[in-house]
Structure 1
Amino acid sequence: MILEDFITITSMGLYCVYGDFYLDPQQPVKEAVISHAHGDHAVGGNQNVYCTGATTAFMKHRYRKFAAGDFHIKSYHQSFKLKEVTITFYPAGHILGSAQVMMEYKGVKYLYTGDYKIEPDITCEPFEFIQADVLITESTFADPETKHPEAAGEINKLNATNANIMLGAYALGKSQRIIQLINQYCPDKNILVHHSIMPFVKIYEEHGMKPGKYQVYDRKVMKQNTQHQVYIVPPMVFHSYFKAVNVVRAFASGWKNLQQQNGISLYISDHADWDAILETIEKVQPKEVWTLHGDGKQLKQHFAGKLEVKILN
């Protein structure tokens, strides 16, 4: 029997009373099961953290001594128990180390996706489709009007200009993917990386994910070379240099509002779009779908009379 209160939303985040743990808590807690290391899913200061090795490395860098009391590193497909709930991680395809969290209790399987994408990305472990009774899915882009273009076609847009490019990308996950894509599809471009992104690139490399050639940003390089340089910067830097001269601006994101007033639109997302969410539901074959991190209304409408969709947020 599916327990409607298996996961509840509290002021601290998503709570599983049957295992007495939180999923991606928003504040420090005693027992935290972390899907991936982005700041809106992983905070510092937890007493016990259960996550993958890469997520541990990212959190320890990001939060330093405030990262957590103890990290309990779990490999994909390795099951462990918190109280009477059996937990297993499966790749989520979002960033390196990102995990779907399978929770089994009294014979019922609840699968929390965290953030995920199902399209190919060689800089992280590919998404795995796992069958479950309840699919707890993100719904960031759960809109029939949203269809992410292929990343290869988007990154090829950079080849349309010889001018230097300032490219905004999230420091963790997106930047490393962009480095790899530019190396693969834009071989004439020289990649310069903002210093704040470098520690994450190094952690990727330490975990065997090699994005390709790049160098740490050097102002002289950009000044002396007025063509074919791509400077990858985090969002704060990108938005603070909105009047930067002699560069074409681009921001890698699935959000339309982040493409406005840029010289190049770069719709590269690390989240599942509408079609990907539908494909995931089809392959997971859940009896119920619970939605998070977005608007699940259109999924509820789409499956009306066919499948129970519950909006948690």
Structure 2
Amino acid sequence: MTIIEDFLIRRDKGFYCAYGDFYIDPLYPVEHAVVSHAHADHASPGHRNIYCTQPTADIMQLRYSKQPIQSFNIIGFDQYFEINGVGIYFFPAGHILGSAQILMVFKGVRYLYTGDYKLQEDPTCEAIVFKEADVLITETTFANPDIIHPDPVSEILKLAVPHNILLGCYSLGKAQRLTAMLNEHCPEKEILVHHSIMPIHRIYDRYIDFPLRYELYNRKSMKEAGQNKIYMVPPLTFFSYRRAKNVLKAFASGWERLQAQNDISLYLSDHVDWKDILYFIEQVKPKAIWTVHGDGRTLHQHYHGDIEIRDIDSQTISPGFC
């Protein structure tokens, strides 16, 4: 078995597999799009054929209403399918609901594209599954020994204060995880969600096996007596409310720069940190590592001389949904 060095390459439209003539997470319309998850930097509209999990399709249909329903090919986890002779499986990535690692098998070699992934516990999405592969194609958003994500429960308990809170977060994945964690660890808090977050919560309600407790935000509710409300808003709304009074401000992210000028720091990421990446590599046991989505130079240095490693994404990608 020989690893094909150009099995997956970076093109303007996304990551391209010429041997199966398909793209993974393309940003522009293509014939065959294999989509790891529904975040907008991985899932875009306009493709003729989309291969993804059912939750990913549901969220894409919500966000891209003009995408024809018949273009979606729904693939279950651990279900085999082929595109032009390349065998493919989806396995849970633990990032958000429906997120998938993509295992491609060609001429006896197993190429595992992680997509975005996390190892931390999250009851609102499928737990990550470890699969061995010859080539690991891993994201490197936080591939830095100086970045170690704190305990998520300790972070969420920072919000257990007698104040109303304006909580910024990404609408998909992070908002639902926060709601579940607040329901469990800060049950006295009343969760009010922005109107753009509500439809995604409703999709999650159909899949997770426990009820999320939340209500749609309205101006009157935030003005009522009491100091137990958390208003959950997307980034643009959060930053437009910088001068809001009588609330504490927090933004849930693994990025330090997004904690600046907030009243409460809230380091909660849906990506792997340095220790998690190393542990994941131990489980996958790859002969080669290809890095994408971020800065993989430190990872390259760490495995230099031990595992063949290279960058197939020379451009540094914007932070995305962290």
Q: TM-score range by the shorter chain?
A: over 0.9
Structure 1: which amino acid aligns with 2:138?
T
Change in 2 beyond 3 A, CA 1:295/1:230: same
What are the within-5 Å matches in structure 2 for residues 167-206 of structure 1? 167-206=167-206
Note the C-alpha offset of 1:66.
3.3
Moved more, 63-72 or 181-190: 63-72
Note the C-alpha offset of 1:212.
2.0
* Aligned-partner SS, 2:306: coil
Structure 1: which amino acid aligns with 2:299?
L
Structure 2: which amino acid aligns with 1:33?
V
Note the C-alpha offset of 1:225.
2.7
* Aligned-partner SS, 1:293: strand
Question: What does residue 85 of structure 2 align with?
Answer: 84
Question: What does residue 207 of structure 1 align with?
Answer: 207
* Aligned-partner SS, 2:205: helix
Note the C-alpha offset of 1:304.
1.0
Structure 2: which amino acid aligns with 1:264?
I
Question: What does residue 253 of structure 2 align with?
Answer: 253
Note the C-alpha offset of 1:69.
5.6
* Aligned-partner SS, 1:142: coil
Which stretches in structure 2 are left out of the alignment for 5+ residues?
A: 314-322
Note the C-alpha offset of 1:65.
1.2
Question: What does residue 277 of structure 1 align with?
Answer: 277
1:224 equivalent to 2:218? Answer no
Question: What does residue 55 of structure 1 align with?
Answer: 56
Question: What does residue 154 of structure 1 align with?
Answer: 155
Question: What does residue 139 of structure 2 align with?
Answer: 138
Question: What does residue 312 of structure 1 align with?
Answer: 312
* Aligned-partner SS, 2:250: strand
Cα distance in structure 2, aligned partners of 1:208 and 1:247: 31
Note the C-alpha offset of 1:100.
0.1
Note the C-alpha offset of 1:68.
6.7
Note the C-alpha offset of 1:21.
0.3
Cα distance in structure 2, aligned partners of 1:28 and 1:91: 25
Cα distance in structure 1, aligned partners of 2:289 and 2:39: 24
Given that 2:205 and 2:212 are in contact with CA atoms closer than 8 Å, whether structure 1 keeps it comes out as: no
What are the within-5 Å matches in structure 2 for residues 4-43 of structure 1? 4-43=5-44
Cα distance in structure 2, aligned partners of 1:209 and 1:218: 28
Question: What does residue 320 of structure 2 align with?
Answer: none
Given that 1:194 and 1:234 are in contact with CA atoms closer than 8 Å, whether structure 2 keeps it comes out as: yes
Given that 1:179 and 1:211 are in contact with CA atoms closer than 8 Å, whether structure 2 keeps it comes out as: no
Given that 1:43 and 1:67 are in contact with CA atoms closer than 8 Å, whether structure 2 keeps it comes out as: no
Which stretches in structure 1 are left out of the alignment for 5+ residues?
A: none
Question: What does residue 295 of structure 1 align with?
Answer: 295
Question: How large is the RMSD of aligned CA atoms in angstroms?
Answer: 1.0
Cα distance in structure 1, aligned partners of 2:295 and 2:165: 34
